[in-house]
Amino acid sequence: MIGKEDMTSRNTGLESRTKILIMMICGCLVILLDSPIALLVCFLASLVLIAVSKPTLRQIRLLLLFLFFTTWGLIYSQGMFYNAFPRTVLITLVPAEFPFIGEWTGGIKIYREGLFHGIIQSLRFNTTLVIGCYIVWSTQPRDLLLALGQLRVPGALAFMVTTALHFIPVIAGETAAVIRSQRLRGFRYGQFNLFATVRGVINSFRPILAGNIRHATNLGESVESRGFSPDIARQRTSLHTSQMGKWDYCLLALLSLSLICVIGLKVLYFCYVNGIYYESWLRGAYTFTREML
Amino acid sequence: MVPIQIDNLFFTYPSREKSTLHGINAEISPSDFVLLTGPTGCGKTTLLRTINGLIPHASSGTLTGAVRVNDEDVASQPLAATCQQVALLFQNPDDQLFCTLVQDEIAFGLENLCFPPEEIKERITLALEQVGLTGFEGRRISELSGGEKQRVALASICAMKPQVLLLDEPTSHLDPRATHDILNIVKQLNTEIGITVVLATHRVKEVAPLCNRVWLMHEGQLYLDLPRAEAFQDTSVFRSLGVEVPETENPPSPIKRKPSTNTTPHHPLLNVKDISFCYSNSDKNAVQTISCEVSRGEIIAIMGANGSGKTTLLHLMGGLLRPSSGEVKIDGKTSKRRKLHQLAGKVGIVFQNPDLLLQAETVKSEVEFGPKNLKLKSEILQTLVTDTLAQFKLTDFAAEAPYSLSRGQRQRVAVAATFSLHPDIFLLDEPTTGQDAHHLQHLMDELCNQIWQENKTLIFATHNIELTQKYADRVLLMREGELIFDGTPNAAFSDKELLKNASLAF
């Protein structure tokens, strides 16, 4: 029988719809916010969310790896390619008078404002990345499919998203096998011949893509032959009645309110800065928006 | 009860000129158990997909003729209606299971058919009882063995209470014990509940005793449709098509070795010393303190149940994985400090899924990929490629794209592409999967011939006892990551207790 003890192995945190809505609201929030402090608060809140879902050590390692590479990549690239003004040179990597590269690029430098902008961008990106990992790691594919259906996402799209997530570990395993088989046949990644390396990468896509298509086709046929169709995604019954609890409602209300407030304050500040609308009693709000949002 | 009638059925896939099903006429009576067999690519899977309605509902192509279930044309009724009467179990459980928990997987079909939760719960309990997995409701599917996963897949379709059960090579990924369990369950469903069964397989010997009718397909046609008692009276038809026959004859005798042209004395080519290995997502060792020595010229079979560590050991031997403890020495040098590309020409591997190796545009460029990476002179390269294509009878396909070939041919291309480097140690993972007897024998004959002629070493992982008896001169038996036997096939297969221990007998 399916008793309470069986249900304990399911993730009993937030409801799947809540998780998707959190992702959407936070996505909007981090786009609207410009202040590093506010973005840091969002990022830390997303970390709290993933901590509550009790990730495994392997997941923590993987997340740290993702965060490291996105942060490093964004700060480094923004620091180097920042083209707004004013900008302050921190380090000169290649002077402008250096033959060919220096003359061609006008010098390669790291700008202080670029680094700052990179930090802001990485906080934005990392917040959504952490929430994305939280959803993938704490939600079963069938719950995700159900939630997307309930949120009126078209059935075909919902199934595609769910299937893609379902096959991530399989694809990772097959990619590793393809690369190993290439290397065991003498192919060297990272060799000086860039053309050969690129060709090797392109060649590796063939078996990986063929495998993906085969798995997806088989799974698609398996679920279709068990009566699933994108058209009925919203009508199907469910063994587990999934309902949003008070925590779901509270969290969503809080986030929605925050989003509305941020939009409101940003609109007011925009009107003030552009001379469209000004009220002296709103000066506190203008200052708060400028300093904190 | 659902009688099935197939009338003049033709089906052609969109990209092909020749029809895959070619004028099939047949009837299936209630409670029949039909064994559907035939060489690889003869149309077995396509026929099952047509009976189940996946063709034409979920697959494009040209279909003429009709399949009638209970006098209803499958092509004109919705798939959701057909799937309650006719269920299809696929080959690989990993490709068909969608949920994380067992109960959710079984509930999935019932939820789609809008059953109320209370009835879903009852049906889950009943379906799990039918497949012998009572109490597995809350188990995670990823933690189950291959056999258990296939039983969950079977339970997930049994829960919909179909009257016809179609099974497409349901045991090709399973070890002998799991195969025996699945087939017994299917037979019970057939005799006790009266479910009509159509089971497509190459493993005729195991299924023939359970069925009451035999269908033999060849090139899209139903070549033979007879009661079991009559079907195997004359086995020449089966043999001529390269299909296994169920006879109680002596075990296959080992094939005679051709004398090696190489007179190098035998010395340890591979030295495995106390190796253990644990995957990062597991807290249990997949391979536990294994030691063995392999000499040049040996053909070794690694055998054991699903999940016993055969593939992991094979990968450790080939340097694809690095042991958590212990050491693997290839030709006297430790594999730990060697990069994979440095092992090219020393070690070659063909995975269970040969498609993972096929990455070039043509068969010829696939075969020359390895030698080209070793930067051989163009004349030597051309000779090597031409010889390899000829050795594996692929010369006629040299300009073809590997993915346009049949499964058997693709496996041969993968073997040829790996063999083109003439590795000292050739590793072959489960060569029997999805292959008919004819293709398998040809492949193994060709490969072993080359191995013997060049005094190389072949190590293959398999569940197939006959394959081991025929080709191997040594067998390593594994159980739960440990090596429980290392000796000759005769010594292993004469010890019933040992085979039971390794899940190769029941």
Please tell me which residue of chain B has the smallest CA distance to A213: B95
CA–CA separation, B151 and A279 (whole Å): 71
Shortest distance, CA B135 to any CA of chain A (angstroms): 8
CA–CA separation, B84 and B441 (whole Å): 40
Residue the block writes with tokens 């296939």? B150
In chain A, the N- to C-terminal Cα span, in Å, equals 53
Yes or no: say if B349 and B429 are a contact pair by the CB < 8 Å rule. Answer: yes
End residue of a domain, out of A76, A111, A139: A139
| Total beta-carbon pairs less than 8 A apart between chain A and chain B | 183
Task: Specify whether A116 is located in the same domain as A164.
Answer: no
Shortest distance, CA B80 to any CA of chain A (angstroms): 4
Structure tokens at B354: 């040969």
Please answer yes or no on whether B160 and A227 come within 8 Å at the CB atom: yes
End residue of a domain, out of A233, A251, A279: A233
Contacts of A54 (CB under 8 A, 6+ apart): none
Shortest distance, CA B490 to any CA of chain A (angstroms): 34
CA–CA separation, B282 and B302 (whole Å): 23
Phi and psi based region of residue A100 (left: phi greater than 0; alpha: psi -120 to 50; beta: remaining): left
Under DSSP, is residue B269 helix (H, G, I), strand (E, B) or coil? strand
Which residues of chain A does B116 touch, with a Cβ-Cβ cutoff of 8 Å?
A: 237
Please answer yes or no on whether A221 and B90 come within 8 Å at the CB atom: yes
Task: Specify whether A189 is located in the same domain as A280.
Answer: no
Q: Which of B405, B291, B388, B309 is nearest to B348 (CA)?
A: B388
Residue among A6, A184, A206 minimizing CB distance to B343: A184
Task: Specify whether A105 is located in the same domain as A26.
Answer: yes
In a domain, A271, yes or no: yes
Structure tokens at A29: 């929030």
CA–CA separation, B130 and B195 (whole Å): 12
Q: How does strand B333-334 pair with strand B482-487?
A: unpaired
Residue among A5, A219, A235 minimizing CB distance to B95: A219
Q: Which of residues 345-364 of B touch A (CB under 8 A)?
A: 345, 347-349, 351, 353, 355-360
Q: A5 pLDDT exceeds 50?
A: no
Share of chain A above pLDDT 70, in %: 94
A206, B201, B387, B445 from B355: Cα distances, Å: 9, 21, 22, 21
Q: What is the pLDDT along chain B (506 residues), one digit of tens a residue?
A: 557 899 999 999 887 788 899 999 999 998 899 999 998 888 899 999 999 999 888 888 899 999 998 888 999 988 888 888 999 998 888 888 888 889 999 998 998 888 999 999 999 999 999 888 889 998 888 878 778 888 999 999 999 989 999 999 888 888 888 888 889 999 999 998 899 999 999 888 889 999 999 999 999 999 999 999 898 888 888 888 888 888 655 556 666 555 555 555 556 889 999 999 998 767 788 899 999 999 998 999 999 988 889 999 999 999 888 999 999 999 888 887 788 888 888 999 999 888 899 999 899 999 999 998 888 888 889 999 999 999 888 898 899 888 878 777 888 899 999 999 999 999 999 888 777 777 888 889 989 988 988 889 999 999 888 889 999 999 999 999 999 999 999 999 999 899 888 888 87
Over residues A126-153, the mean pLDDT reads 86
Task: Specify whether A121 is located in the same domain as A166.
Answer: no
Q: A11 pLDDT exceeds 70?
A: no
Q: A4 pLDDT exceeds 70?
A: no
Please answer yes or no on whether A9 and B357 come within 8 Å at the CB atom: no
Q: A230 pLDDT exceeds 80?
A: no
Biggest distance spanned by C-alpha atoms of chain A: 78
CA–CA separation, B352 and A120 (whole Å): 47
Q: A6 pLDDT exceeds 70?
A: no
Which residues of chain A does B49 touch, with a Cβ-Cβ cutoff of 8 Å?
A: 221
Yes or no: say if B310 and B460 are a contact pair by the CB < 8 Å rule. Answer: no
B469 lies within 8 A of chain A by CB: no
Under DSSP, is residue B285 helix (H, G, I), strand (E, B) or coil? coil
Please tell me which residue of chain A has the smallest CA distance to B120: A239
Would you tell me how many other CB atoms lie within 10 Å of the CB of residue B125?
18
- CATH code: domain B295-306+340-498 is 3.40.50.300
Structure tokens at A8: 């304990």
Task: Specify whether A163 is located in the same domain as A221.
Answer: yes
Angle between helices B407-419 and B378-391 (to 10 degrees): 140
How many residues does the structure list for chain A?
293
pLDDT of residue B250: 56
Burial label, A149 (beta-carbon count in 10 A; 0-12, 13-18, 19+): buried
Predicted confidence (pLDDT) per residue in A265-284, tens digit: 999 999 999 989 888 888 99
B15 lies within 8 A of chain A by CB: no
pLDDT of residue B256: 56
Which residues of chain A does B419 touch, with a Cβ-Cβ cutoff of 8 Å?
A: none
Please answer yes or no on whether A184 and B347 come within 8 Å at the CB atom: yes
Q: Which of A63, A212, A57 is nearest to A133 (CA)?
A: A63
Q: Which CATH class is domain B1-85+163-244?
A: alpha beta
DSSP string covering B306-337: TTSSHHHHHHHHTTSS--SEEEEEETTEESTT
The winner for highest mean pLDDT among A92-106, A195-209, B458-472 is: B458-472
Please answer yes or no on whether B96 and A229 come within 8 Å at the CB atom: no
Please answer yes or no on whether B98 and A182 come within 8 Å at the CB atom: no
Structure tokens at A125: 């990106």
Amino acid at B222: L
Over residues A44-56, the mean pLDDT reads 89
Would you tell me how many other CB atoms lie within 10 Å of the CB of residue A81?
11
pLDDT of residue B266: 57
Angle between helices B437-453 and B407-419 (to 10 degrees): 10
Domain that residue A228 falls in: 141-233
End residue of a domain, out of A139, A169, A199: A139
CA–CA separation, B85 and B489 (whole Å): 46
Total domain count, chain A: 3
pLDDT of residue A2: 38
In a domain, A209, yes or no: yes
Yes or no: say if B69 and B2 are a contact pair by the CB < 8 Å rule. Answer: yes
Choose between A24 and A162: higher pLDDT: A24
CA–CA separation, B43 and B121 (whole Å): 37
Residue among B97, B104, B351 minimizing CB distance to A239: B104
Yes or no: say if B37 and B216 are a contact pair by the CB < 8 Å rule. Answer: yes
Amino acid at B343: L
Task: Specify whether A18 is located in the same domain as A104.
Answer: yes
Task: Specify whether A135 is located in the same domain as A212.
Answer: no
Task: Specify whether A20 is located in the same domain as A130.
Answer: yes
pLDDT of residue B81: 85
Cis peptide before A86 (omega within 30 of 0): yes
Q: Which of B39, B49, B35, B143 is nearest to B89 (CA)?
A: B49
Please answer yes or no on whether A228 and B108 come within 8 Å at the CB atom: yes
B278 lies within 8 A of chain A by CB: no
Yes or no: say if B198 and B167 are a contact pair by the CB < 8 Å rule. Answer: yes
Over residues A41-69, the mean pLDDT reads 89
In a domain, A252, yes or no: no
Half-sphere exposure of B267 (CA within 13 A, CB side): 7
Task: Specify whether A104 is located in the same domain as A146.
Answer: no
Which residues of chain A does B343 touch, with a Cβ-Cβ cutoff of 8 Å?
A: 184
Which residues of chain B does A206 touch, with a Cβ-Cβ cutoff of 8 Å?
A: 358-360, 403
In a domain, A99, yes or no: yes
> Are B1-85+163-244 and B295-306+340-498 the same fold in CATH?
yes
Residue the block writes with tokens 């989003």? A259
Task: Specify whether A174 is located in the same domain as A100.
Answer: no
CA–CA separation, B445 and B448 (whole Å): 5
CA–CA separation, A65 and A52 (whole Å): 20
Rg (chain B; Cα; Å): 24
Over residues A76-93, the mean pLDDT reads 86
Phi, psi of A143 (to 5 degrees): -70, -40
Strands laid side by side in the B62-69 sheet? B21-28, B4-12, B62-69, B72-73
Please tell me which residue of chain A has the smallest CA distance to B108: A226
Residue among B138, B156, B360 minimizing CB distance to A203: B360
Query: Which of B258-283 are b and which e, b meaning 16 or more Cβ less than 10 Å from the residue's Cβ?
Result: eeeeeeeeeeebbbbbebbbbeeeee
Contacts of A249 (CB under 8 A, 6+ apart): none
Q: Which of B260, B219, B224 is nearest to B245 (CA)?
A: B224
Q: How does strand B196-200 pair with strand B33-37?
A: parallel
- Hey, where are the domains in chain B? 1-85+163-244, 92-161, 295-306+340-498
Residue among B110, B120, B341 minimizing CB distance to A186: B341
CA–CA separation, A126 and A130 (whole Å): 6
Task: Specify whether A88 is located in the same domain as A41.
Answer: yes
